[in-house]
Amino acid sequence: MRFTSRVLRDVRVRFAPSPTGRLHLGSLRTALFNYLFARKHGGAFILRIEDTDRSRLVPGCAEKFEETLGTFGLKRDESPMVGGAFGPYTQSERGAIYAQHSERLLDSGHCYRCFCSSERLDILRKGALRAGELPRYDNRCRSVSKAESDERARNGEAFVVRFKFDKQNVAFHDLVYGSNNQIADEGDFVVMKSDGFPTYHFANVVDDRLMAISHVIRGAEWLASTPKHVKLYEAFEWTPPNFVHLPLITRDGKKKLSKRDADAYVAYYIEERGYLPVAVLNFLLRNGSGISGFQPGNLYSLDELIQRFDVNLIGTRDFMMDRSALDTYGRLAFRSTHRETLLQNVAKHLKTHASADIDPALLEPAYIQRVIDFISSNEENFAAFDELVTGDFSFFFGRPSSAAKLLERFDATTALTICDALLELERFDIAGVKAVAKQLKMKPKEVMAATRCALIDSFKGPPLSELFGFFSDDECRTRIQFLKESLKEGSVSAKAS
Ligand SMILES: Nc1ncnc2c1ncn2[C@@H]1O[C@H](COP(=O)(O)OP(=O)(O)OP(=O)(O)O)[C@@H](O)[C@H]1O
């Protein structure tokens, strides 16, 4: 069944992360698809916080999710912070709603209380595993009479609420994966835990219904649980929403990227490394899935992505995280970003990440502008701001901090002699360096290499003539003088101001 790509009525989608860690690239991709779908069809994009797993809560996460979505321009129409007519949008604040709905299914006979101890469940689980089977509850408490169940609950006995799961006729249609009857059959599943909190499945169904969600767009790891949800909708006599499961970003082609992967955090790429958000979004879509006319290597704005988004084009193949592609988009993003914005972002990143004793003059817009012009005039570009702080272009914002690099190629006496001779120059230019080479009876190439290293702490990099054009004579002298001092002290760790 093809999905008609037109403006639909009453489209409401939700991105529903659990606040158990920072947002990672996989979740961001799923959030992006939700957002594109909502905007494409004139609908609402909702953020719901699914915090029913109390044991894994990380304080502050939910607020950070809102901030991160904002950073990427994924504007929420409703959320815990934005508010909205269907709130509260945090599941832990919806306890009374779940209790009331579980009562409803207890009354209708679709659910029952289960008093089995955790020891008994453990024995069942281990027995199944020993037999090479999937653990499955044996539905024992189904046979406890209503009167006995009420009595035991009144007496304060601990219980969970289970749903009578009939796995017949559970097929459903998914807009990406098509007809589906995958099923994780664990027997009658829990809807309310003994701590009074709902399970993911139950809260999800109740909230999606009460929040009038038209399309459930989430990662494919939930495909196998969807039959449970379908059965819950049936029990409530509700029409299920449309299901749109998305392929997952994997670490290695198999394992789903998750909050436990330290280098998968969105904040790491934006705040630490300094990639522009639009670069990350394009990176996440780089296999073209869901985007009409997608050309790899092109950079698309969020508006263009909305225009091109088509749910029928979402493929079912999982997507491996290959970070090397991110730099390509990083470079494209810098090239296409408005100068003013770029300047502000560079300054902001430097203020946070450069060393505390950085010369304030280096943070002036005019200086940053010169750096950017210099880099782009060399047909080069940076992919992320951290290249200006710790990477190939860091020499613009920090002087060499030791003579270690120079000593990789020159012995200390030769290095010192070259520094002394360079410091005698009135002007720093190629002719001056050649004159020094002649005076020291060295090859010009060698003295040029030493000079470049004194200026930028590297034997590679822009032509020396351009470096002389960029740095003032005073700055060249300061850098060479510093190196001379370090060589004299024999120190390799002295810090430049
Ligand atoms: N690797 C992934 N690729 C694509 N979507 C994902 C990925 N991981 C999670 N999602 C989706 O992102 C949404 C929010 O997920 P959530 O915040 O619970 O992250 P999670 O990584 O699944 O958490 P956990 O740490 O419990 O594994 C869900 O719809 C989920 O299916």
Distance, CA 261 to ligand 1 centroid (Å)? 12
For residue 187, what are the contacts with CB-CB under 8 A and spacing of at least 6? Answer: 136, 137, 138, 139, 165
The closest residue, in CA terms, to atom 31 on ligand 1 is 219
Which residues in the chain come in under a pLDDT of 50? 5-7, 491-497
Cα–ligand 1 centroid distance for 219 (angstroms): 6
Instruction: Take atom 21 of ligand 1 and give the residue whose Cα is closest.
Output: 258
Å from CA of 249 to ligand 1 middle: 9
Of ligand 1's listed atoms, the one at least distance from the Cα of 220 is 31
Distance 355 CA to ligand 1 centre (A): 36
Q: State how far the Cα of 421 lies from the Cα of 440, in Å rounded to an integer.
A: 8
pLDDT at 359: 81
Atom of ligand 1 nearest to the CA of 19: 17
In angstroms, rounded to a whole number, what is the distance separating the alpha carbons of residues 280 and 306? 16
* C-alpha to C-alpha distance for 78 and 46, rounded to whole angstroms: 5
State the Cα–Cα distance between residues 165 and 142, nearest whole angstrom. Answer: 11
pLDDT of residue 61: 92
**The predicted structure's pLDDT at residue 496:** 36
pLDDT tens profile 391-432: 888 889 888 888 888 899 999 999 999 999 999 999 999 999
For ligand 1, atom 25, name the residue with the nearest CA: 259
Instruction: Provide CB contacts within 8 A for 141, sequence distance 6+.
Output: 112, 113, 114, 115, 116, 149, 162
Rounded CA gap, 245 and 315, in Å? Answer: 10
- Give the integer Cα–Cα distance in Å for 52 and 196: 10
Reported as a single tens digit per residue, the pLDDT across 286-310 is: 877 899 999 888 899 999 999 999 9
Let me know: does 277 contact 71? Beta carbons within 8 Å.
yes
> Which protein residues touch ligand 1 with a CB less than 6 Å away?
17-18, 20-21, 24, 26-27, 29-30, 218-219, 221-222, 246, 248-249, 256-259
For residue 52, the surrounding DSSP H or E stretch is none
Return all residues near 289 (Cβ < 8 A) that are at least 6 apart. 247, 313, 314, 315, 317, 319
Considering only CA atoms, which residue is closest to atom 22 of ligand 1? 258
Using CA atoms of 81, 84, 90, 96 in order, give the dihedral in degrees to the nearest 10. 140
Burial class of residue 428 in the structure, from the number of CB atoms within 10 Å of its CB (0-12 exposed, 13-18 middle, 19+ buried) = buried
Atom number of ligand 1 nearest to Cα 222 = 31
416 token code pair: 């010192």
Counting atoms of ligand 1 from 1, which one is nearest the CA of 20? 25
Dist. CA 310–CA 5, nearest whole Å: 7
CA angle, corner 320, sides to 4 and 181, nearest 5? 50
Tokens of 58: 């990380």
Catalytic residues: 259
To test ligand 1's pocket by mutation, which of 27, 176, 217, 259 has the most ligand atoms within 8 angstroms of CB? 27
| Cα–ligand 1 centroid distance for 432 (angstroms) | 61
Q: How far is the CA of 254 from the centre of ligand 1 (A)?
A: 15
End-to-end CA distance of the chain: 66
Closest residue to atom 2 of ligand 1, CA basis: 26
417 CA distance to ligand 1 middle (Å):
60
Sheet of 172-174, strands arranged across: 44-47, 12-15, 215-219, 242-246, 172-174, 178-180
Query: Distances in Å between the alpha carbon of 329 and those of 40, 285, 324, 343, 456?
Result: 24, 11, 10, 19, 27
ipTM of the complex: 0.97
CA pair distance 32, 72, nearest whole angstrom: 9
The atom number, within ligand 1, closest to the CA of 264 reads 1
Residue type for 409, please?
Answer: R
User: Tokens for 90?
Assistant: 């945090």
| Ligand 1 atom 9: residue of nearest CA | 27
111 sits in which H/E element? strand 111-114
CB count within 10 Å of CB 397 equals 21
Ligand 1 atom having least distance to the Cα of 256: 1
pLDDT at 253: 75
**What are the chain's domains?**
406-496 (1.10.10.350)
Residue whose pair of structure tokens reads 């009409």 in the numeric block? 292
Nearest CA to ligand 1 atom 14: 17
